[in-house]
Amino acid sequence: MATPSERLSPYYTILGISSDATLAQLDQRYLDLICIWAVPNHPGDDEFAQLQVRTIDDAYVKVLRHIIATQDLEPAKTSLSHRQLEQGIDRMAVPLSKAALLEDLWIHKHIPPRPVPSSDPDKGVPPGFSIIRVQGDVFDGPDRAVIVHAVNCQGVWGYGFASHLKRQRPGAFQIYRDHCKQAAKPFDLLGTCLLIDPEELEDVRKQSLRMKYPSGSPPKDDKAESRESEIYYPRFWIACLFTSLGYGRKDMRHNNPGRDTKAKILYHTALALENFRSQLEDFTPSNFDEDTAWDTDDDKPGEIRACKFNSGAFGVPWEETEALIEQKFKDFERPWLIVDNEA
């Protein structure tokens, strides 16, 4: 019968470490490999890079379990949260001085060529980042606009703009509420952004109709419902920034820790804005040519629109949130429109 080390031999080979490697050596090797494959400038095409990452992850987990079970480990003095790792991984890059690692680390020799992005001169000129203040209704935006607002981690939209959004886009509230329920702990959501795709909203709307009407659409004699189902709604993306753990006053009878302090809300806002920008940049660069954008960017987020989030139920002066937007979105490709409905 093979010993544990013999059974794990292929995984040690993948990671390029010996069977007596320490936990620190395993972690360092894993980081070196991930810095090759899990960054935007990885070798090969995206599909092949994802295969490498999955293989490395699987090997790491197998060896990690063995080391934990067989070695006496001291508690770590410092640690990074999952959120810190998640937000940092997309900004990792292999330093030029480590270029030699490409020869040493485990990398498949038959790397498919990575497609070279084509430079399309007809995509217009990005307007660049700025904050534009306008009067009106945040829902008066164009198709594919992104509506940004701040939320708590309790699955509740009961105040201010969130309450208005719940009435305007009930499907978005359902997706947000389910997202909160699925979190292991509400605290895990802080400093993240839930970016809701308009296709998800349409799926929720159709599901609601199917639950109400077996045929999936209202009967013809129900004119009000028929008109409602045929009304064209602009496809809005909804960006939910998790900036406070709770809302209102503390009420532990309903597991609500209450609104966070201003300092905590601003800290979580900074993290959530970083996460939001990272998700937007997964879609960029955008096409700013009005004649062709409908064809090339139909499934991408468009204009960014927001009310003065954090300043209502969360009680944070708008100027402080605005300063964070300017800091976190510096050099972004498009502006933010801050919509004020006060006369």
Q: Which residue has the higher pLDDT, 72 or 281?
A: 281
User: Residue 208 has what pLDDT?
Assistant: 62
Residue 188 above 50 pLDDT?
yes
DSSP helix/strand/coil, 146: strand
Provide the pLDDT confidence category of residue 128 given band limits of 50, 70 and 90: very high
Q: For residue 301, which of 241, 239, 231 has the smallest C-alpha distance?
A: 239
Q: Residue range 270-284: average pLDDT?
A: 93
pLDDT of 293 reads: 77
Percent of the chain with pLDDT over 70: 73
**Is the confidence at residue 115, as pLDDT, over 70?**
no
Start-end of H helices in the chain? 4-7, 9-15, 23-37, 46-70, 82-89, 101-104, 160-168, 170-182, 198-212, 223-230, 262-281, 293-296, 318-328
What pLDDT, on the 0 to 100 scale, is given for residue 201? 78
Determine the pLDDT at residue 297.
85
**Is residue 205 a contact partner of residue 171, using CB atoms and an 8 Å limit?**
yes
Question: In the predicted model, is pLDDT for residue 296 greater than 60?
Answer: yes
Task: Please check whether residue 131 is in contact with residue 318, taking contact to mean a CB–CB distance below 8 angstroms.
Answer: no
Write down the pLDDT at residue 58. Answer: 86
149 half-sphere exposure, CB direction, 13 A CA radius: 26
Q: What is the pLDDT of residue 321?
A: 98
Whether the pLDDT of residue 96 is over 70: the answer is no
Give the position of tokens 């001291």.
74
Pairwise pLDDT comparison (155 vs 200), residue with the higher score = 155
pLDDT, residue 213, reads 59
What is the predicted pLDDT for the residue at 94? Answer: 47
Task: Tell me which residue of 241, 157, 255, 239 sits closest to 200, measured CA to CA.
Answer: 239
Residues 203-241 pLDDT 10s:
666 666 666 656 555 555 555 444 444 445 688 999 999
Mean predicted lDDT score pLDDT of the chain: 81
Comparing 13-22, 106-115, 133-142, 200-209, the range with the smallest average pLDDT is: 106-115
pLDDT of residue 159: 86
| Residue 286 confidence (pLDDT) above 60 | yes
Asked whether residue 304 carries a pLDDT value surpassing 90, the answer given is yes
Reported pTM? 0.61
Q: What is the pLDDT of residue 134?
A: 95
Burial tier of 81 (Cβ tally within 10 Å: 0-12, 13-18, 19+) = exposed
> Does the pLDDT at position 4 exceed 70?
no
Whether a cis peptide bond, with omega within 30° of 0, leads into 285 is: yes
